[in-house]
């Protein structure tokens, strides 16, 4: 049987220049909000800072780390058993 080489980045997200597509979402969201409310400069700065923060979080945190952070701040349920991240202690 012949060995076949499989690329290591086969399931990676598409790239735009040197950014992955999901890393540019905070920038484009802030860009469109800035266009809508006519406050482009502050929103462009916020978009760059938000994208840099997201890239750092994505690089340093394990997979699924952002979902756990959203759960911790009460923005989304983690799963069926843990619905609210704002409840830190278990009461019996």
In order, the DSSP letters of 16-58 are ETTEEGGGGHHHHHHHHHHHHHT-HHHHHHHHHHHHHHHHHHH
Are 64 and 74 a contacting pair, CB within 8 Å?
no
Residue 51 shares a structural domain with residue 82: no
Q: What is the pLDDT of residues 39-88, one digit of tens each?
A: 999 999 999 999 998 888 888 888 877 777 777 777 777 676 666 666 66
Residue 29 shares a structural domain with residue 55: yes
**Domain boundaries, position 56:** 15-60
Residue 33 shares a structural domain with residue 44: yes
- Determine, yes or no, domain membership for 30: yes
Residue 69 shares a structural domain with residue 48: no
- Determine, yes or no, domain membership for 7: no
- Determine, yes or no, domain membership for 76: yes
- Determine, yes or no, domain membership for 4: no
- Determine, yes or no, domain membership for 87: yes
Nearest to 22 by CA among 73, 72, 57, 71: 57
Kindly list the distances between the CA atom of residue 67 and the CA atoms of 4, 52, 58, 62, 77, in Å, as whole numbers in the listed order. 35, 18, 11, 11, 9
Q: What is the pLDDT of residues 2-35, one digit of tens each?
A: 888 877 777 777 777 788 888 888 999 999 999 9
Q: Higher pLDDT residue, 62 or 92?
A: 62
pLDDT tops 70 at residue 1: yes
Unique residue bearing structure tokens 């800035």: 34
């Amino acid at each position: 049987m012949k060995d076949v080489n499989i690329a290591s980045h086969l399931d990676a997200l598409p790239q735009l220049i040197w950014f992955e597509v999901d890393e540019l979402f905070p920038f484009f969201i802030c860009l469109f909000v800035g266009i809508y409310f006519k406050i482009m400069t502050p929103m462009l700065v916020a978009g760059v800072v938000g994208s840099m923060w997201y890239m750092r979080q994505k690089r340093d945190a394990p997979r699924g780390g952002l979902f756990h952070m959203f759960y911790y701040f009460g923005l989304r349920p983690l799963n069926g058993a843990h619905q609210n991240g704002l409840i830190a202690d278990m009461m019996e």
